[in-house]
Amino acid sequence: KFLIPDSASGLPVGPWTALRQGYLATGSDGEVRLRDAGGVLTLTVKSGAGLVREEREIALTAAQFDALWPLTEGRRIEKRRAVVAEGEQRYEVDVFEGVLSGLMVAEVEFQGVDEARAFQPPTWFGAEVTDDARYSNASLARAGTLPAEATGR
């Protein structure tokens, strides 16, 4: 995960998908998240932290999502996402909205740790925050504010 500075040139411009996420549970062992990605409703369980994580996702009906969503009160984020392809690499670019407005990040997934460590980010990427727990979506949702230095990228 990388911050994208406001001054980034070459930043992709969509198409964007609106996302809202709410967290049912977060902790050192993982998290349980609800997501509405442009009407695609899912429940996701993640374990691990930093560079290596495991994820399981299941589709939800609107009724299931609506029944669970109120349980995420106080632990929500809103953002827009664009998927950018450069060569064989794909980047998910998130632009946060609401109380987290101003934060932009790019996430990159790899097949393994060696591939991740060999990665050379494009010039429009800023600081890497993969291992900075303050920038996990769950932490941002719980805190409801940007980390102090995020606005000074």
Which amino acid type is present at position 31? E
Identify the CA nearest to 92 among candidates 22, 144, 35, 28. 35
User: Residues for the chain: how many in total?
Assistant: 153
Judge whether 23 counts as a catalytic residue: yes
Q: Spot the catalytic one: 1, 2, 4, 23.
A: 23
The torsion defined by the Cα of 94, 100, 101 and 106, in degrees rounded to 10, comes to -20
Apex CA 17: angle with CA 7 and CA 45, to 5°? 105
Apex CA 124: angle with CA 153 and CA 143, to 5°? 40
- Which residues belong to the active site? 23
